[in-house]
Structure 1
Amino acid sequence: MYKLKTTKSVSKRFKVSSSGKFLRHYSCKSHLLQKKSSSRKRKLRRTTVIDYCDHYSLNYTLPYR
């Protein structure tokens, strides 16, 4: 049986928690930061759990997580 390849761009963008959930960073933190409030920018630093409906596509692109 051949090995499945991991999609490298996906492996850099997502992490897997200890319970098996996928974590991602918030977007909109790269530019145009002057008009965003500091509380909004602070909240964008955090990570969040992705929806369960997207787990199938991530399981396919990250086979050996």
Structure 2
Amino acid sequence: MSVVIDYNKCDGPECAECVNACPMEVFEIQDNKVVVVREDECTFCMVCEDVCPAGAVKVKED
């Protein structure tokens, strides 16, 4: 599984719902955008996907 961000949809730090909601702190804001920095810590709970109002975050099966 992997966490993918569609930057064409993501509102970045103006939203950051995924950053705030992730219980494993998988996301960070770097260079004014949300990035996946600790994917190996992800438990694939899908909270990031659920809270993203733009539908920019997807948890995908590899």
Which TM-score bucket, shorter chain as reference?
A: under 0.3
**If the length of structure 2 is used for normalisation, what is the TM-score?**
0.24
Report which of the two structures shows the higher radius of gyration computed on alpha carbons: 1
Richer in strand (by share): 2
**If the length of structure 1 is used for normalisation, what is the TM-score?**
0.23
Higher RCO (Cα < 8 Å, 6 or more apart)? 2
